[in-house]
Amino acid sequence: MKSINKIESELKNSNNDFIDNDLRPFLRIPSNTSNKEGIQKAKDYIISYINSFSEEITEYQEISNPLFLAKVDGKIKDKLLIYMMYDTQPISKEEDWICDPFGAEIHKLDYPLDSLGNCIIARGAYNSKTPLICFLNVVRELKRNNRLPISLLFLFDGEEEIGSPTLVKFIEEKKNVFKDCIDAYYPSTKQSMSGNSILKLGYKGILSLTIKVSSKNKEPHSAFSAMIPNPAADLISILNLIYSNSEFQIRSLKKSYDMTKEEELILNELLSKLDIQSIKKKAGILQTRENDAKSDFINYLFNPTFNISTLKSGFLEEGLKNYVPNKAICNIDIRFAHDISVDVIFKEIQEKIEIFSKTSNSEIKLTRNLGYECSRVKKDTPLVRSLIESATMLGVLTEIWPISAAAAPLSKIQKVLSLNFITGGLGIGGLAHSVNEFIQYKSIINTRLSNYNFLRIYSQLIQEQNKN
């Protein structure tokens, strides 16, 4: 007990120094996926940080940004796989940020987030550079005190925001690297505005596509539109063949998702105490499709989504110009809770486009950007139990969600490596991928303390499991 209190005291006493000297410098590195210089600096920062307590660091580079692993020995030789991403989304609408997106400045946010008090504003503050460096800091403290209870294998991904292509290939080709791993954990900051811990027992799958439609014409006057192909109109027709009237037109996703009995029980318990309005506030949502909050939430978790993030064609400047554009492009992401292969979904969309192309003189190109299936973990696993208990020790209640509406390449780790995988941890942050992404300043100490409690409790459960 004395050693436990000693570690906790060290974490608490060092928290402000950690924020100023470790976290904020890391957040100031512009490591969006396409910024090669920023990615290199973030990688170098991490390697420098872990070099003193890692037994071995190995780097792999396949497509774009480096994937690297680090082995850290603990008292239990079986390894817990720790997945971490160090890339971020790019910055958009920089003029709308209240400060430099990579300044890691401390500010209060506008209503309704003003109740959180001081927050660190930075791209990656929530997703996911804060939990990354917090976890590494805890491991460093434990190793320094010779108290790391279990061996770890860190897996650092620099391409998560583009679908982790190197990671997916690496897991499939280098399975032997993970032979000593027993579970996988992704440290994160998952507290609600009310302070409850949010623990989600899985992630949706995702399929990201780009559709480009073009013609050989030179964009003539619109008077010719009756005799020539119109890529913009053709693109709209294609989109309607895939999704129209708020419903998928492909077989695999046309049928509604059927919840399991366990999911229904978890959902009913969750809805009995969930503050849905608080979730909407934190996400900056002012308008939803339905007026019923419960229906909105069920749709959010389980309905397949068809999102057009980019739709571009024609004259995009001020004023009018009547002409026929010769190209149109859109980016789409589809998320789904259904237990179905992403290959099946892509094939059905491909078939729709092939049939349409026979009726059009436009050139149509379909590109598959990324895709992976959904993932699940059982409620009674050591991973889930450890996260719940580690939050309870800090006086934090845990809300169990049956699934996350977000997507992550966790299904590959589950499917290929046969490892349970969970994401969770304390800390209040938000606005991932959006303007003024943040982490609440005063919640950072709980991020570090919960990391410590998780490692200690998880190791105890694994030892008990091994004895039985």
| CATH code for position 428 | 3.40.630.10
d(CA 313, CA 318): 14
105 in the same domain as 169: yes
Q: Give the residue with greater pLDDT, 276 vs 33.
A: 33
37 in the same domain as 165: yes
In this predicted structure, what is the pLDDT of residue 1?
57
In this predicted structure, what is the pLDDT of residue 5?
82
106 in the same domain as 231: no
pLDDT at 194 over 80: yes
In this predicted structure, what is the pLDDT of residue 192?
87
326 in the same domain as 228: yes
68 in the same domain as 40: yes
Q: How confident is the model at residue 427 (pLDDT cuts 50, 70, 90)?
A: very high
> Is position 277 within any domain?
no
Which of 279, 315, 122, 132 lies closest to 193 in space, CA to CA?
Answer: 279
Q: How confident is the model at residue 306 (pLDDT cuts 50, 70, 90)?
A: very high
58, β-bridge pairs: 69
d(CA 341, CA 332): 18
pLDDT tens, 202-237? 999 999 999 999 999 999 899 999 999 999 999 999
> Is position 298 within any domain?
no
pLDDT tens, 428-467? 999 988 999 999 999 999 999 999 999 999 999 999 988 8
| CATH code for position 361 | 3.30.70.360
In this predicted structure, what is the pLDDT of residue 340?
93
Domain boundary among 372, 401, 417: 372
- What's the Cα-to-Cα distance from 442 to each of 105, 106, 296, 399, 455, rounded to whole Å? 14, 11, 31, 21, 22
d(CA 107, CA 39): 26
> Is position 289 within any domain?
no
pLDDT at 410 over 80: no
Which of 306, 73, 282, 311 lies closest to 212 in space, CA to CA?
Answer: 311
Structural domains of the chain, count: 2
Q: How far is CA 389 from the centre of its chain?
A: 24
153 in the same domain as 140: yes
454 in the same domain as 425: yes
Q: Which of 171-175, 251-255, 409-413 has the lowest mean pLDDT?
A: 409-413
Per-residue pLDDT averaged across 15-25, rounded? 98
pLDDT at 296 over 90: no
381 in the same domain as 368: no
361 in the same domain as 226: yes
> Is position 281 within any domain?
no
In this predicted structure, what is the pLDDT of residue 115?
92
97 in the same domain as 12: yes
d(CA 295, CA 289): 9
Longest Cα–Cα distance in the chain: 84
Averaged pLDDT score across all residues of the chain: 92
Per-residue pLDDT averaged across 118-147, rounded? 96
Domain boundary among 338, 356, 372: 372
Q: How confident is the model at residue 3 (pLDDT cuts 50, 70, 90)?
A: low
> Is position 269 within any domain?
no
> Is position 463 within any domain?
yes
> Is position 286 within any domain?
no
Instruction: Tell me which residue range forms the domain holding 194.
Output: 2-201+377-467
428 in the same domain as 446: yes
> Is position 290 within any domain?
no
In this predicted structure, what is the pLDDT of residue 63?
57
Domain boundary among 372, 389, 417: 372
213 in the same domain as 161: no
